Amino acid sequence: MRTTDTATVGVMGVSLAPGDHVCAFYPGAAERNEILIPYLQEGLDAGDKCICIVSDATAPDGDLDSVRCHSHNSDQLAVDSSGDTYLKGGSFSSDRMLKYWDSAISQAMEDGYTFARGAGEMTWAWRPCPVWRIW
């Protein structure tokens, strides 16, 4: 971990400690970007690994391209879709998602990052979806 105990979120001056979790509700992609893009830009500017899952329905059609210019290298910002992560295989599995995040964070540390930020859009949870496998 880097020398500070908190990370700036980039939204309303909020600071978070490693392991904190924030849930934000927004009506559309524009409002998502008002929260997500500053969060990612702050991380990229600080040299953090940024891992972002976006909903297939609101996948970034250039929304996150402006953020990539803040990257120190090409792998600093990883963007995945909910269909390839949360709903991989056709349904949600908490075990699979815990493994996904553990693998992504472990890989970031192996790649030399000292801090990683994660963002996961879950708009798919509001739509009718396949049966959830929680256990």
Note the pLDDT tens digit of each residue in 75-84. Answer: 999 999 999 9
Model confidence over 102-123: pLDDT tens digits? 999 999 999 999 999 999 998 8
Distances (CA, A) of 89 to 6, 52, 64, 84, 92: 36, 19, 26, 8, 8
What pLDDT does 30 receive?
85
Pair type for strands 116-120 and 77-81? unpaired
Those residues whose C-beta lies under 8 Å from the C-beta of residue 97, and which sit 6 or more positions away, are 85, 86
